[in-house]
A and B are shown apart, each in its own frame.
Chain A
């Protein structure tokens, strides 16, 4: 485990980042509140704020400190807290659900049982320790202003076809997550590799057409908005749909062939100082109020009649959706050899973006 953490740390920030720190933090509720809940998450503060405010505003004078982390840093700091046995966050919420499952597998999570957790489907609850609290789609994002309807790829096959011509205007203007920098990107790419053989043709097409692998949802969507990229592949739908509210040019497609469905995973660390409070927060997020707040923040996406206008759903949603289940199978992607090989494959596809500066795994 230490090896994995070490490898990830080195992959992520090179040898420089000795002490991971949060990207941002914000407190809610009264500053002198008697009880404070420390929540660490990968979700942007802006996306998650409503939920935190709602919970903090409940009677009882509760304070919440929210720290926004990168997914790999969050895993590392949580694992370190767990191994050291000292103080830890009260709740950790990450979109890198494979890392969350690994934390629970290594005994770093505390069980919580309630009617809320019992009502979760099996794929969204592992050991009553890791809970899927959101419902987000991995989508293809494009700019409505730059691509007309007929050209919009409805599936991965369409995307491959768009990239095939030598003189395609999409060459060099397709972006996706850099899997070495983004835990979520790695998770999606690895899930793609499990789902279909399309993945081979897809990254081959990416490589040939000079697709861009870069970090972070917001930068990618910015690129789509300003026309740097025409299409972004495997972007987390929640960010795209939130941006689509402000910028009507942004639209998203849930691919027809299959659409990955991610449930952001929450867990209560074993050394949580306020486990009951954390459990209450979890139950709140699973409650009707919490769910509608998450829905408003596009963290739970509706795929029925009331689906967002900017989202184009697959023809047959029932058969196209592939939930990423919270099971130990996710650990396979974290295996040292597996990860090394997968990253090596990736790197051979995107030689330009990942220069020789990355620390190689031993």
Chain B
């Protein structure tokens, strides 16, 4: 079951795995880039440092040049070679050429380079070598011209330094990579810990516990928890509606149905036709009340359910009012009472659920016809702060002491009257609350009584 439940959630791969892959990719690319950079840097650093030794040695040799009988003589200083010996394993090669390009002293394997390039690469005794070419102009009576000094050295020390620099850089990259990976693992674990806490909270809950989740979570997960809590709240309310409905139904319907049955038994046993007719009349009236009661119970449940489940849409309250009056008229057997309508010219639009509003309106009309005095008027108006929709009559209305509790179920009286279950105003109040408004009871004059819903206006975008 558990695996099926898990399969039900669409898996998109492990976060850690994805993070690991991304990290590995970044580190690999970074590592390659850094190694290339380190190698290039190491190479140029090694090249530069050992080139300096080479130039130093060549300059020392060039500085030791002298003339004797018009011939170039070279007195190589030992320090020049000691300088080159700083690359301890590298072979040394050198040559000095006179103004006509003839070898004065040194190795005859060295060729005088063309042009003025200072450094050049070549080979010596089968190994790659780096050469420097230094030219010294001599202007004497016996010799006028340039003497060329070429000094070369194999590149072992350069390669070693390059490798050393690259190796150290790679080592640093590896250490940084390990540290980053470690930190990433820690970060993922710590980021997912609140989710584990939520999971544990749900796992430990009883099936009846529909209280909000109360777990410390970071900001990023707070919206998820809020959404979860809203969802839980909705389920909680709907369950409560159902429970209320069942409780109300069992409580409210048992008595009238028992009465109905008793009268039906009376009717069956009645011998007199007139008696029988009278009892049937009563049965008819009781079943009409029962039907209304059932209606109200179901309506109440439905309104509360809708308040949670139906999205509000712009509704013109004038349409609501006329629909309510139309539907009320249809329920009347006769046309003994006429309900008036008082509507403004302009549309009265608010965000609402038309069905709930019509139902609330009908309830108000029912109440007015049952307890108030005609003429009964359904009105819609704009009182500035809110939109009102309600019913006005000429009766005395409820006693003021009852107003505060008027919205509660069965507030007016305990038990059931012959005509009402006492749910009417509670439905109206529930609808008003579902729309973010409230139910208001008012007595504007001695012979006027108003019950209406105050509904918030739609906030129109300012032009």
Contacts of A103-129 to chain B: CB distance below 8 A: 104-107, 122, 126-127
Interface residues on B, range: 20 to 34
Partner of B89, one of A106, A127, A194: A127
Chain A residues lying within 8 Å of B85, measured Cβ to Cβ, are 327-329
Say yes or no for B15: interface residue by CB 8 A criterion: no
Chain A residues lying within 8 Å of B74, measured Cβ to Cβ, are 335, 337-338
**Chain A, residue nearest B153 (CB):** A328
> Once the chains bind, are A1 and B92 in contact (CB under 8 Å)?
no
Given that A329-B81, A329-B82 are contacting pairs, would A338 and B107 also be in contact in the complex, using a CB cutoff of 8 Å? no
> Once the chains bind, are B125 and A331 in contact (CB under 8 Å)?
no
Say yes or no for B190: interface residue by CB 8 A criterion: no
> Once the chains bind, are B106 and A335 in contact (CB under 8 Å)?
yes
**Chain A, residue nearest B80 (CB):** A332
Chain A residues lying within 8 Å of B54, measured Cβ to Cβ, are none
- Rounded to whole angstroms, the CA-CA distance of A3 and B91 in the bound complex is 19
> Once the chains bind, are B127 and A107 in contact (CB under 8 Å)?
yes
> Once the chains bind, are B127 and A338 in contact (CB under 8 Å)?
no
Most chain A CB neighbours (cut-off 10 Å) among B84, B89, B124, B125: B125
Partner of A106, one of B104, B105, B106, B125: B125
For A294-336 the 0/1 string (1 means CB < 8 A from B) is 0000000000000000000000000000000001110110011
Chain A residues lying within 8 Å of B107, measured Cβ to Cβ, are 1
Say yes or no for A341: interface residue by CB 8 A criterion: yes
For B292-305 the 0/1 string (1 means CB < 8 A from A) is 00000000000000
- Rounded to whole angstroms, the CA-CA distance of A107 and B91 in the bound complex is 9
Q: Tell me, rounded to whole Å, the shortest Cβ–Cβ distance linking A241 to chain B.
A: 30
> Once the chains bind, are A331 and B81 in contact (CB under 8 Å)?
yes
Q: What would be 6 A-B contacts, judged by CB atoms less than 8 Å apart?
A: A1-B108, A2-B108, A107-B91, A328-B91, A328-B92, A335-B74
**Chain B, residue nearest A339 (CB):** B105
> Once the chains bind, are A105 and B91 in contact (CB under 8 Å)?
yes
Say yes or no for B126: interface residue by CB 8 A criterion: yes
Chain B residues lying within 8 Å of A105, measured Cβ to Cβ, are 91-93, 125
Partner of A336, one of B81, B84, B105: B105
Q: Tell me, rounded to whole Å, the shortest Cβ–Cβ distance linking B98 to chain A.
A: 12
**Chain B, residue nearest A1 (CB):** B107
Q: Tell me, rounded to whole Å, the shortest Cβ–Cβ distance linking A188 to chain B.
A: 15
**Chain B, residue nearest A106 (CB):** B125
For B71-110 the 0/1 string (1 means CB < 8 A from A) is 0011111101110110011111100000000001111110
> Once the chains bind, are B76 and A337 in contact (CB under 8 Å)?
yes
Interface residues on A, range: 20 to 34
- Rounded to whole angstroms, the CA-CA distance of A329 and B80 in the bound complex is 8
> Once the chains bind, are B73 and A341 in contact (CB under 8 Å)?
yes
- Rounded to whole angstroms, the CA-CA distance of A335 and B96 in the bound complex is 11
Chain B residues lying within 8 Å of A122, measured Cβ to Cβ, are 88
Chain A residues lying within 8 Å of B93, measured Cβ to Cβ, are 105
- Rounded to whole angstroms, the CA-CA distance of A313 and B88 in the bound complex is 32
- Rounded to whole angstroms, the CA-CA distance of A126 and B90 in the bound complex is 9
Sort A-B residue pairs by CB-CB distance and give the 6 closest, nearest first: A107-B125, A329-B81, A328-B92, A327-B85, A336-B105, A337-B74
> Once the chains bind, are A331 and B88 in contact (CB under 8 Å)?
no
Chain A residues lying within 8 Å of B104, measured Cβ to Cβ, are 337
Chain B residues lying within 8 Å of A332, measured Cβ to Cβ, are 76-78, 80-81
> Once the chains bind, are B81 and A337 in contact (CB under 8 Å)?
no
- Rounded to whole angstroms, the CA-CA distance of A105 and B125 in the bound complex is 8
Chain A residues lying within 8 Å of B75, measured Cβ to Cβ, are 337-338, 341
> Once the chains bind, are B125 and A335 in contact (CB under 8 Å)?
no
- Rounded to whole angstroms, the CA-CA distance of A122 and B73 in the bound complex is 33
- Rounded to whole angstroms, the CA-CA distance of A351 and B454 in the bound complex is 136
Partner of A335, one of B76, B91, B108: B76
**Chain A, residue nearest B88 (CB):** A122
- Rounded to whole angstroms, the CA-CA distance of A3 and B105 in the bound complex is 9
Q: Tell me, rounded to whole Å, the shortest Cβ–Cβ distance linking A65 to chain B.
A: 28
Most chain A CB neighbours (cut-off 10 Å) among B76, B78, B90: B78
> Once the chains bind, are B76 and A338 in contact (CB under 8 Å)?
yes
- Rounded to whole angstroms, the CA-CA distance of A60 and B244 in the bound complex is 109
- Rounded to whole angstroms, the CA-CA distance of A301 and B211 in the bound complex is 97
Chain B residues lying within 8 Å of A335, measured Cβ to Cβ, are 74, 76, 105-106
**Chain B, residue nearest A2 (CB):** B108
- Rounded to whole angstroms, the CA-CA distance of A36 and B76 in the bound complex is 43
> Once the chains bind, are B126 and A328 in contact (CB under 8 Å)?
no
Q: Tell me, rounded to whole Å, the shortest Cβ–Cβ distance linking A342 to chain B.
A: 10
Most chain B CB neighbours (cut-off 10 Å) among A126, A127, A332: A332
Chain A residues lying within 8 Å of B81, measured Cβ to Cβ, are 327-329, 331-332
- Rounded to whole angstroms, the CA-CA distance of A122 and B109 in the bound complex is 29
- Rounded to whole angstroms, the CA-CA distance of A327 and B75 in the bound complex is 19
**Chain B, residue nearest A330 (CB):** B81
Chain B residues lying within 8 Å of A104, measured Cβ to Cβ, are 91
